[in-house]
Amino acid sequence: MHTKVIEHFKSNNKTISNQLKSLKDLRHRADYVLNNSIEKRDAGESLRLAKGILTTLNYLY
């Protein structure tokens, strides 16, 4: 489902598409890369991306 949403926005809004992909990559790394420590900056980046996505979506829709 996440990939379909990212693909939808690739043609409609490249910025949202890129932000969603980055957020997905950060989440994947936190959930599945077991030898990777989660840094505070990763959490901050995830929060920044999520807020940016929501702000843009609220503005557009």
- The answer to whether residue 25 scores a pLDDT higher than 90 is yes
d(CA 47, CA 19): 11
pTM for the whole thing? 0.84
End-to-end CA distance of the chain: 20
Q: How confident is the model at residue 26 (pLDDT cuts 50, 70, 90)?
A: very high
Instruction: Tell me what percent of the residues of the chain surpass a pLDDT of 90.
Output: 64
Q: Which residues contact 50 (CB under 8 A, 6 or more apart)?
A: 23
| Residues comprising the chain, all counted | 61
| pLDDT tens per residue across span 27-56 | 998 888 877 777 889 899 999 999 999 999
d(CA 19, CA 46): 9
One-letter identity of residue 33: V
User: Could you tell me the two tokens for 45?
Assistant: 């980046």
